Amino acid sequence: MDYLKQIIDKLYKLPEDQLTNENLHKVKKWTIKELWIKIIPTNIQLQRKYQELLKEWKIKDNKQIHFLLMKRKIRSLSGIVPIQVLTKPWPCPGKCIFCPNESIMPKSYISTEPGAMRALLNQFDPLKQSFNRLLSLQSTGHNTDKIEMIVLWWSFDAYDMEYKTNFIKQLYDACNIFQNIKSKIDTEVDNPKSARFTIDLEKLDLQLSKSIEEAQKINETSENRIIWLTIETRPDLVNEKNIQFWRKLGVTRIEIWIQSTFDDILEANKRWHTIEQAKQALHLIRKYWIKISTHMMPGLYKSTIEKDIESFKILFEDPYLKPDELKFYPTSVIPNTELYQLYKKWEYTPITTEEIKKIIKEVKQNYIPPYTRIKRLIRDIPESEIVSWSMITNLRQLAEHELKKELKIDKKLQKKYFHRLFENQEWLEIKVFDVKDFDNLKEIKLEKHTNENLICLCTRCREIRNQKNTNDNIILVMRKYLSSVGEEYFISFENMDGYLIWFTRLLIPTNDFANFEWLGEKTAIVRELHVYGLQEKIWEKWEESQHKGFGTKLMKTAEKLSKEKWFEKVSVISWVWVKWFYKKIWYNPEWTYMVKEI
């Protein structure tokens, strides 16, 4: 395929400011016209050729060309790549009226959803699912050395212990051995989706680990390392025994379905748990410092727009809730559900597009705090599976477009956003520092915020992503708020427009917390350390956000603050590959955490 090399060679001759999608398309057209080729090559074909030339030392790595040829760039713009896998069908303790219940799928998932379809065609095998996602991601130009592994099915704790352990072990195994077997499953295809389900494990010589502990140890130096591990569960399945088991598996984040903060709505929809149970579950999870992602469902049976908005207000005000992340799933009417029967009897009226947009705008303008991430605003259910509700799949974009228009017109709204971001007196404490002299931080005041592109304060909307950034524009911000376990600090490096570059979550326990024998009462907790920007390979230093020493600076800030609070140790919830980073800054392993005396 010499014509692919010719296209890449021409891209290398272009000045940096001309490496655009428009010029890429022109180069493709010119080249195939010169060579009398009829079919325009895809970016995936070019990306594969680019990687091949790199391995043969025929070209030097060029970040801009690599990024230009990458497909679905957003997948790795948060500093890691997500891989979703689905566990096998299993009886669910819940009887929710809105949940689909296909016999061939875990309850609540539909076989035509993209992720669920992959799982079904791979017989829910963790190795096959992981291999396929790794192959797809690498074929489209993404680095996979920093992975967030997301295990889907919202009642993970309902499985037996042996299945759960073996499933998670094989996820580590898949990441550990993938590069060694990639050549046996990697085929020359224009679109990796067409080869997605062809892996035959029996034909591969797989060397699997003997235990989950061995798999985790190997993964610390693997080419594909799991840095975050997520599972889903219900509030009524959360207990200390389960949480301690999660930690042995390496779980660092929990997705938990709350749906509403009103008991009458939960009961009407047969959730079979109360909001008090949800609060106690989140309190228990936070005691073990695990990151919390909650699911909320506006438009439930017996709910109203007013109650839905009030639910979000309560979610961010109640110290027993206050999630780190949020998934916003408007209720859909799906065939073969009890909700569908109510809809047919005219006893349920689905939520409309305008009502959903109203809720989204209200939450973004007034309630979402700068420390919470809105991960999703709609579930990826195919339109063909939905009987009734809004069929619009780009609700986030529509709502944000309207908010942006309002922001340009309404100067009071601009001031309100700045106030909530840097001055809000409803927060217990917000401090902003100049970081030019990091060793002697000085508190500063900022001018009023005028960034018309920033229409939401959630961490997803404020990610720096691939935007250019200079150290001269960086400030250190400390935001303090109360949770049920103690004082929480969201410590971040941001630019003066409010875009988020690096952050850490520090917990100063003041109430009930998991007092392990080796911890002691005077131990502060780092619940998360994250660097945004285009994901870079572990040992590379491109000119963006990652690998610039700011993670170390955030940890020093957290340690200094903990010491000022008269704490004697700092403990970090970390897993697998990040252990080497914490060892480098003098943290030592204790059970499933990393601990340092300060």
Task: Note the pLDDT of residue 190.
Answer: 43
Backbone φ, ψ for residue 544 (5° rounding)? -125, -140
Give the whole-angstrom CA distance, residue 424 versus residue 426.
5
Task: Note the pLDDT of residue 545.
Answer: 45
Question: Are residues 103 and 184 located together in one domain of the fold?
Answer: yes
Count Cβ atoms below 10 Å from residue 43 Cβ, excluding itself. Answer: 17
Question: Are residues 53 and 94 located together in one domain of the fold?
Answer: no
Question: Are residues 55 and 78 located together in one domain of the fold?
Answer: no
Beta bridge partners, 151, equal 85, 231
Task: Note the pLDDT of residue 518.
Answer: 61
Domain stop point among 10, 38, 69: 69
Task: Note the pLDDT of residue 547.
Answer: 44
Give the whole-angstrom CA distance, residue 419 versus residue 63.
37
Question: For residue 414, is it within any domain?
Answer: no
Residue type, 35: L
Q: Which residue has the higher pLDDT, 444 or 199?
A: 444
Of the candidates 2, 585, 571, 3, the one whose C-alpha atom is nearest the C-alpha of residue 287 is: 571
Of the candidates 244, 255, 245, the one whose C-alpha atom is nearest the C-alpha of residue 288 is: 244
Which range, of 48-57, 62-71, 170-179, 436-445, averages the lowest pLDDT? 62-71
Q: How far is CA 368 from the centre of its chain?
A: 17
Say whether pLDDT at 450 is over 70: no
What's the mean pLDDT in 67-88? 77
Question: Are residues 85 and 51 located together in one domain of the fold?
Answer: no
**Helix H or strand E encompassing 434:** strand 429-434
Of the candidates 44, 61, 122, the one whose C-alpha atom is nearest the C-alpha of residue 86 is: 122
Tens digit of pLDDT for each residue in 126-160?
Answer: 999 999 899 888 888 788 888 999 999 988 999 99
Question: Are residues 207 and 305 located together in one domain of the fold?
Answer: yes
Question: Are residues 303 and 431 located together in one domain of the fold?
Answer: no
* Residues counted in the chain: 598
CB within 8 Å of 131: residues ≥ 6 apart = 174, 178, 181, 185, 199
Question: For residue 225, is it within any domain?
Answer: yes
What's the mean pLDDT in 153-172? 95
Give the whole-angstrom CA distance, residue 108 versus residue 232.
12
Domain stop point among 44, 69, 94: 69
Class of residue 207 by CB neighbours under 10 A (exposed 0-12, middle 13-18, buried 19+)? exposed
Which range, of 97-111, 190-204, 264-278, averages the lowest pLDDT? 190-204
Q: Determine contact, residues 19/26, Cβ cutoff 8 Å.
A: no
Question: Are residues 224 and 97 located together in one domain of the fold?
Answer: yes
Give the whole-angstrom CA distance, residue 156 versus residue 17.
48
- Reading the block at residue 366, the tokens are 């007034």
Residue 517's pLDDT band (cuts 50, 70, 90): low
Question: Are residues 384 and 273 located together in one domain of the fold?
Answer: yes
Task: Note the pLDDT of residue 22.
Answer: 87
What's the mean pLDDT in 392-411? 76
Task: Note the pLDDT of residue 406.
Answer: 78
- Reading the block at residue 404, the tokens are 């942006």
What's the mean pLDDT in 169-197? 72
Q: To 10 degrees, the CA torsion angle through 243, 247, 248, 252?
A: 140
Task: Note the pLDDT of residue 543.
Answer: 44
Question: For residue 416, is it within any domain?
Answer: no
Q: Which residue has the higher pLDDT, 384 or 329?
A: 329
Helix, strand, coil shares of the chain, percent, nearest 5, are 40, 15, 40
Task: Note the pLDDT of residue 432.
Answer: 94
What pTM did the predictor assign?
A: 0.88
Tens digit of pLDDT for each residue in 563-573?
Answer: 999 999 999 98
Quickly list H helices, 410-539. Answer: 411-418
Mean pLDDT of the chain: 85
Tens digit of pLDDT for each residue in 287-333?
Answer: 888 999 999 999 999 999 999 999 999 999 999 999 999 999 999 89
Question: Are residues 339 and 191 located together in one domain of the fold?
Answer: yes
Give the whole-angstrom CA distance, residue 473 versus residue 431.
17
Beta bridge partners, 431, equal 478
Give the whole-angstrom CA distance, residue 261 versus residue 478.
29
Q: How far is CA 242 from the centre of its chain?
A: 23
Give the whole-angstrom CA distance, residue 230 versus residue 148.
7
Structural domain including 512 reads 426-597
Task: Note the pLDDT of residue 147.
Answer: 92
Residue 546 sits in a domain whose CATH number is 3.40.630.30
What's the mean pLDDT in 421-431? 86
Task: Note the pLDDT of residue 193.
Answer: 47
Question: For residue 321, is it within any domain?
Answer: yes
- Reading the block at residue 430, the tokens are 């917000």
Q: Which residue has the higher pLDDT, 383 or 143?
A: 143
Question: For residue 415, is it within any domain?
Answer: no
Tens digit of pLDDT for each residue in 232-282?
Answer: 999 999 999 999 999 999 999 999 999 999 999 999 999 999 999 999 999
Give the whole-angstrom CA distance, residue 238 versus residue 280.
9
Say whether pLDDT at 40 is over 60: yes
CB within 8 Å of 195: residues ≥ 6 apart = 135, 185, 187, 189
Backbone φ, ψ for residue 97 (5° rounding)? -75, -15
- Reading the block at residue 471, the tokens are 């150290």
What's the mean pLDDT in 453-478? 80
Give the whole-angstrom CA distance, residue 403 versus residue 361.
7
Give the whole-angstrom CA distance, residue 16 versus residue 284.
51
Q: Determine contact, residues 151/87, Cβ cutoff 8 Å.
A: yes
Question: Are residues 154 and 55 located together in one domain of the fold?
Answer: no
Question: For residue 347, is it within any domain?
Answer: yes
- Number of domains comprising the chain: 3
**Max CA separation in the chain (angstroms):** 74
Say whether pLDDT at 195 is over 50: no
Question: For residue 219, is it within any domain?
Answer: yes
Say whether pLDDT at 541 is over 90: no
Give the whole-angstrom CA distance, residue 15 versus residue 241.
59
Task: Note the pLDDT of residue 542.
Answer: 42
Question: For residue 418, is it within any domain?
Answer: no
CB within 8 Å of 217: residues ≥ 6 apart = none
How crowded is the C-beta side of 351, counted as CA atoms within 13 Å?
26
Give the whole-angstrom CA distance, residue 507 versus residue 561.
11
What's the mean pLDDT in 167-176? 96
Beta bridge partners, 149, equal 83, 229
In degrees, to the nearest 5, what angle opens at C-alpha 139 toward C-alphas 134 and 212? 10
Scored b (16 or more CB within 10 A) or e, 167-177 reads: bbbbbbbbbbb
Q: Which residue has the higher pLDDT, 485 or 78?
A: 485
Could you tell me whether strands 500-509 and 486-495 are parallel, antiparallel, or unpaired per DSSP bridges?
antiparallel
Task: Note the pLDDT of residue 37.
Answer: 81
Residue 228 sits in a domain whose CATH number is 3.20.20
- Reading the block at residue 264, the tokens are 């009458």
Class of residue 395 by CB neighbours under 10 A (exposed 0-12, middle 13-18, buried 19+)? middle
Beta bridge partners, 492, equal 477, 503
Task: Note the pLDDT of residue 184.
Answer: 76
Question: Are residues 52 and 131 located together in one domain of the fold?
Answer: no
Range ranked top by mean pLDDT from 75-79, 99-103, 322-326, 494-498: 322-326
Domain stop point among 355, 380, 408: 408
Residue 346's pLDDT band (cuts 50, 70, 90): very high
Question: Are residues 20 and 137 located together in one domain of the fold?
Answer: no
